[in-house]
Amino acid sequence: MSVSHCLTGDKVAIDAFLDQFDVFLFDCDGVLWSGNHIFPDVPETLDMLRNRGKRLVFVTNNSTKSRQDYKAKFDKAGIQANVEEIFGSSYSAAIYIARILDLPADKKKVYILGESGIEQELASEGIKYCGGTDPNMRRDIEQEDFDALADGSALDPEVGVVLAGLDFHVNYLKLAYGLAYLQRGAVYLATNTDSTLPMSKSFFLGAGGVGAPLVTSFGKEPLSLGKPSQAMLDAVEAKVKMDRSRTCMIGDRLNTDIRFGIDGKLGGTLAVLTGVSKKEEFLADGAETVPAAYVEKLSDLLG
Amino acid sequence: MSVSHCLTGDKVAIDAFLDQFDVFLFDCDGVLWSGNHIFPDVPETLDMLRNRGKRLVFVTNNSTKSRQDYKAKFDKAGIQANVEEIFGSSYSAAIYIARILDLPADKKKVYILGESGIEQELASEGIKYCGGTDPNMRRDIEQEDFDALADGSALDPEVGVVLAGLDFHVNYLKLAYGLAYLQRGAVYLATNTDSTLPMSKSFFLGAGGVGAPLVTSFGKEPLSLGKPSQAMLDAVEAKVKMDRSRTCMIGDRLNTDIRFGIDGKLGGTLAVLTGVSKKEEFLADGAETVPAAYVEKLSDLLG
């Protein structure tokens, strides 16, 4: 049985832990900040890691924002980060489609259920798309749509992928297009399948909720490009040079972040207690997902 | 192991079978018609049963139509039916809420995810509702909505039930309201949970698809008031006087119609082969759901 070590307040243990890794993958919400509240001494902690020569990658399931959008969030929080250090699930999907998925030449277009963040990231990899924020799709479904979807005349024959993410403008028409493409054999991907979205100190529908109609009506699950799916780690690896044995995942959620690192056979995982999971969950006898180490808060790594 | 008997062409067996029952519950699509195509001699078959003194009840999972709306479909098809003979899943839900569910006096309002058929049926039982076709709900969600849903100020304190049905005008705002009411303890009902909707000779998103975001994001399944849920049979029974042992369910789908009759311990089930299920499915060794008898088409009952 694995045991998680507390690093908080133990400078020798912290140094030994950090020395094991060249790359740190960071979850953001619950680690760097909670909503609009920035945790103390986060910039200093990241600076310390960079000064030690560590490579930092911020891995987020947020699919509505592009890396550029997400960078603005870092700026606003007063946390220094480069676009190259940010890895969102939309970008993960774009990398996966462009560099890992082997689509036939005439089936390279992506039908998007989602917002502009997905569009920007697909464009950044030169991938053609339709759906998404297209204003023509923001309307009620009509009988002619049913007919034209059923006989296929409404469909773009180049579409070979359906990519579902968080869409605040979801409607029946957009879902019906997605389902029709899936029924015709499109590859079924999701930026992430988080069932809920933390907002305004409550929980709303996440990408997994908004996309659930396709899962239910099509009868199959998508391949997720977000944590804890290993497809996201494959996508990170397709972009970031890293030795998994010298990479550590830092996160607040056992079932996504820590699971992501363990399944990916990373050299280490570090839990922070400023988010969702409590230490009792992984210190309990028979706990399923146990991080290699934990700190009360990220800045405890400053020693 | 039960064996299904073929009645087609066997007048003696037909008479003996019909004599066992006073009430016949009919599925409609796949039994009386398929889309706009009416099967031959359906009116004559129904007349024959009525002339023998049988009570007929048409049991449909269609939730977008009220009984009155559905009666118009019968009229158009040239099939005689009274509104009292029609039992849709919206009406089933209304009966269930009004006569079976015991709601606190200050929690009797229903939040609807669905179309006017549900509204009409709730109104017919004197049930107050919100959501549904409210034009104020047909818009994008805004930050103020997130805040007002999170702190509850947007919510109607009288709502004690969320009722999800097929909604062609589904959007994030309506789903977010539904989720917020569920999170505050509303009873979770669905008119039906059919994953697909047959339309224009293809399959679109059914009530179970459209409502799937609530299931995924809330993390619980609704009680369905449509076939094969026994709650629908309870609702039929709350309205129609019937002796289950002298009632027969007629339908084309093993996993909904026939399962509905078997689970309800009805006296009999009769499959027709003009719809989804094939006889090979229930004649096979070890078949799970086996109708007591079957005919090639409904009018075979004319002998």
pLDDT for res B35: 79
CATH 3.40.50.1000 residue window(s) in chain A: 5-61+229-302, 103-224
| ipTM, interface predicted TM-score of the complex | 0.92
- Which residues from chain B sit within 8 angstroms of residue A208, using beta carbons? 216-217
Contact B27, B60 (CB under 8 A): yes
Residues of B with active-site annotation: 27, 29
Superfamily in which the A103-224 domain is placed by CATH: HAD superfamily/HAD-like (3.40.50.1000)
Partners of B206 on chain A (C-beta within 8 Å) are: 217
Which regions in chain A score pLDDT beneath 50?
none
Query: Which residue shows structure tokens 């079957």?
Result: B294
Cα separations (Å) of B88 from A46, A298, B192, B193, B300? Answer: 61, 57, 10, 13, 26
Q: Which CATH number fits domain B105-224: 2.60.120.10, 3.30.70.1430, 3.40.50.1000, 3.30.930.10?
A: 3.40.50.1000
> Is the CB of residue B180 less than 8 Å away from at least one CB of chain A?
yes
pLDDT digits (tens, 9 = 90+) for A137-170: 999 999 999 999 999 999 999 999 999 999 999 9
Runs of H (alpha helix) within chain B: 11-19, 42-51, 67-76, 89-95, 116-124, 143-150, 172-183, 207-210, 212-218, 230-239, 259-263, 279-283
3-state secondary structure of B161: strand
- Up-side HSE of residue A168: CA atoms within 13 Å toward CB? 17
Cβ distance A190 to A211 under 8 Å? yes
Q: Does the beta carbon of A150 lie under 8 angstroms from any beta carbon of chain B?
A: yes
In this structure, what token pair is assigned to residue A249? Answer: 């995942």
Closest partner residue to B146 (CB to CB) among A199, A206, A209 is A199
- The annotation status of B47 as a binding-site residue, yes or no, is no
Q: Do B213 and A205 touch (CB under 8 A)?
A: yes
Contacts A–B by Cβ distance under 8 A? 122
B11 is in an annotated binding site: no
**Chain A interface, mutation test: which of B216, B218, B224, B255, most A Cβ atoms within 10 Å?**
B216
For chain B, where do the domains classified as CATH 3.40.50.1000 start and end? 5-61+229-302, 105-224
CATH number for the segment(s) A5-61+229-302: 3.40.50.1000
Chain B neighbors of A172, CB-CB under 8 A: 167-170, 205, 210
Q: Does B152 touch chain A (CB under 8 A)?
A: no
Q: Confirm or reject contact between A219 and chain B (CB < 8 A).
A: yes
pLDDT of amino acid B201:
85
Q: Are A299 and A279 in contact (CB under 8 A)?
A: no
Q: Which of A22, A27, A147, A151 is catalytic?
A: A27
**Which are the contacts of B89, defined by CB distance < 8 A and separation ≥ 6?**
B60, B61, B62, B63, B165, B191, B192, B207, B225, B226, B227, B232
Q: What is the pLDDT along chain B (303 residues), one digit of tens a residue?
A: 578 999 999 999 999 999 999 999 999 999 999 878 899 999 999 999 999 999 999 999 999 899 999 999 999 999 999 999 999 999 999 999 999 999 999 999 999 999 999 999 999 999 999 999 999 999 999 999 999 999 999 999 999 999 999 999 999 999 999 999 999 999 999 999 999 998 888 999 999 999 999 999 999 999 999 999 999 999 999 889 999 999 999 999 999 999 999 999 999 999 999 998 999 999 999 999 999 999 999 999 998
A141–B205 C-beta distance less than 8 A: no
C-alpha span between B166 and A179 (Å, rounded):
16
